[in-house]
Structure 1
Amino acid sequence: MRSRNSSLFVVAAIACFAAAAHAADPLPSWNEGPIKQSIIAFVEKVTTEGGPDFVAENERIATFDNDGTLWVEQPMYTQLAFALDRVKALAPQHPEWKTTQPYKSVLDGDVQGLLAMGDKALLAIVAVTHAGMTSDDFEKIVTDWIATAEHPRFKRPYTECVYQPQLELLAYLRENGFKTFIVSGGGIEFMRPWTERTYGIPKPQVVGSSIVTEFQIKDGKPVLIRLPKVNFIDDHAGKPVGIGQHIGQRPILAFGNSAGDREMLEYTTGGDGPRLGLLVYHNDAEREYAYGPAGGLPDSKIGTFPEELMDEAEKKGWLVVRMKDDWKQVFPAE
């Protein structure tokens, strides 16, 4: 009995030690090194009252891109995968799509052919899959799809193809008085149904691209109808505009992963006081994907990370988080 009690004591002691170690490390899925140290140092200096770099809690705004920054964006943006699935679901109602582009390419599984047609083809796909319904109906369609759709490579729901290190960072920032926002080129109404459950970011803290909506009375009920017309593109220079319109404050931390996030980082780090800009660099083909200046997908039009962005990051002191080197773990444990 004494031996058994001793064993239980040892197990309990190890468990307590592990829990204490985890609590002491706010970013356990980040490898030790200058990137992790710089993030923690930044948070500590802006939250130390009386310090020279202290930032009041109501000014601690952190903005994150979504695709490629918080979850996987290869081999195609998740919202594009949603749109293609919607075309297939609606196809029985539109037999003419079998011979009409760009729908024919979707039904034939020719994604590259679709992308080669350019923005006009993609806008046509968006028009038939994202418009002509109420905002409430669209939210239900997205919610139902995201609950069952799986990533083609990882065979897990898209909401489980999120980056564990980023989930830890979001939680760490919130624990230290930051308000975290998504600022993405993705559709604002596509993201809002699931961001709180997935990232802990509620609907009002999601900024994204949008289509025109119109107030109508339908069957005696006031509704918002989604129209097949672009309202705002929250990408590149649109991101600072979206931040100004939706948030009304310049962030002190911004995290992106591509050329589409450059202006958001420039806007964030161009303000007074302590600022931090970060970029995810995808260089891990084994655990995720490798693309960018030295990546394995040099011709990728998704998450473009040109050499000049790397040069700008170095000149402006933005932290480049190299997935292969800086993340101990990529996805949450299954």
Structure 2
Amino acid sequence: MNRRQLLSWIGTGLLALWLPLAPVHAQPDPLPSWNDGPVKQAIVDFVGRVTREGGPDFVPPPERIATFDNDGTLWAEQPIYFQVEFALDEIRRLAPQRPEWKDKEPFLSVVAGDLKSILVAGEKGLLEIMAVTHSGMPIDEFTKAVRDWLATARHPTKNRPYTDLVYQPQIELLSYLRANGFKTFIVSGGGVEFMRVFAERIYGIPPEQVIGSSGVTKFEIGADGKPTILKEPEIEFIDDGPGKPVGINRFIGRRPIFAFGNSDGDLQMLQWTAAGNGPRFMGIVHHTDAEREWAYDRQSHVGRLNKALDEATARGWTLVDMKRDWRIIFP
């Protein structure tokens, strides 16, 4: 061995001794609010498979569509849907200007704070409340009313702003998907104009990627001579149950490869997602944490999870046990 070979051999040996001591910079956990376990691993494995170029399950970025329900999936929904609470608060705010409501139901019960009587009034009473508070005004006026309400209203039992009651694990999941080339959509039974007020700020989902139930609107020139879009009392589209795949087809034009819900109202969206070719991820948030949030499923008056729970179990969809799988719930 000559001198050059000897120095090379010594250098290689020293490098081999040094390498194990070199600092290893681990990648930060993209889902820190998710507990380690099979659910978190299923998400990470799926994203890894569909984004691995040259792999058998690779999905081109334009086809990486992810759809999420809102109520009970991205933020809380108990004891009643937050949009309904907004409508009830609007009735109370407007009542002094509407003396004809003084002795008329369901407005009398709303002003009195009698939730049981409101529920007894059933769908007819609720539709009347929603019509009064969600129509007969320009969209800009409605948007302002929602924004003002979100800035001041507090949840009746959590005593926090409603936008505080978003699920931190899901916020992380949305960001993680977008960082891996997914386009994220809300597909919810909630009102589309209502959700668009806050979706971009708290979820990072722009208004054009929010699909929801909608009423009839019309263009007109206002009394001030300016164009406006007026919200009418008629319902145009219900984005719930079988309406969800219809809305996805109408407004997105691509079948999702990743979908998340929490109730029977999301079942058809999950079925539509599962029916596509190639890799698919279907997830359901199961509310099991009575201490930190709420525990409910088959018998709940809000967000009932019955048929979808059975189908998820039978078909091996990913079931998120909130108590077990989420390290924290709210930010």
Global fold match (TM > 0.5): yes
Pairing of 1:1-334 with structure 2 (within 5 A) = 23-218=27-222, 219-293=224-298, 298=299, 300-306=300-306, 308-332=307-331
CA shift for structure 1 position 253 = 0.5
CA shift for structure 1 position 77 = 0.5
CA distance in 2 between partners of 1:148 and 1:58 (Å)? 39
CA distance in 1 between partners of 2:197 and 2:310 (Å)? 37
CA shift for structure 1 position 205 = 0.4
- Deviations along 1:128-169, one digit per CA (max 9) or x if unpaired, are 111111011111111111111111222211111100100010
Segments of 5+ residues of structure 1 without an aligned counterpart are 1-16
Q: Residue type of the partner of 2:273? A: T
Considering only aligned residues, what root-mean-square deviation do their CA atoms show, in Å? 1.2
CA distance in 1 between partners of 2:52 and 2:275 (Å)? 22
CA distance in 2 between partners of 1:330 and 1:303 (Å)? 17
Structure 1: 4+ residue segments shifted above 3 A = none
Q: Residue type of the partner of 2:317? A: W
CA distance in 2 between partners of 1:47 and 1:116 (Å)? 50
Q: Residue type of the partner of 2:212? A: G
Q: Residue type of the partner of 1:131? A: S
- Deviations along 1:67-101, one digit per CA (max 9) or x if unpaired, are 00000100110100100000001100112312111
Deviates more, 1:105-114 or 1:239-248: 105-114
Q: Residue type of the partner of 2:319? A: V
Q: Residue type of the partner of 1:250? A: R
CA distance in 2 between partners of 1:303 and 1:96 (Å)? 34
Segments of 5+ residues of structure 2 without an aligned counterpart are 1-22
CA distance in 1 between partners of 2:214 and 2:127 (Å)? 12
- Deviations along 1:236-289, one digit per CA (max 9) or x if unpaired, are 000011111111110000100000000000001110010010000001000000
CA distance in 1 between partners of 2:183 and 2:208 (Å)? 11
Partner of 2:102, secondary structure, is helix
Q: Residue type of the partner of 2:245? A: P
CA distance in 2 between partners of 1:269 and 1:147 (Å)? 39
Q: Which has the larger radius of gyration?
A: 2
- Deviations along 1:144-197, one digit per CA (max 9) or x if unpaired, are 111111112222111111001000100000000000000000000001011101
Q: Residue type of the partner of 1:325? A: R
Partner of 1:183, secondary structure, is strand
Partner of 1:310, secondary structure, is helix
Q: Residue type of the partner of 1:58? A: P
Q: Sequence identity, in percent?
A: 60
CA distance in 1 between partners of 2:304 and 2:185 (Å)? 22
Residue number in structure 2 paired with 1:11? none
CA distance in 1 between partners of 2:154 and 2:118 (Å)? 21
Partner of 1:24, secondary structure, is coil
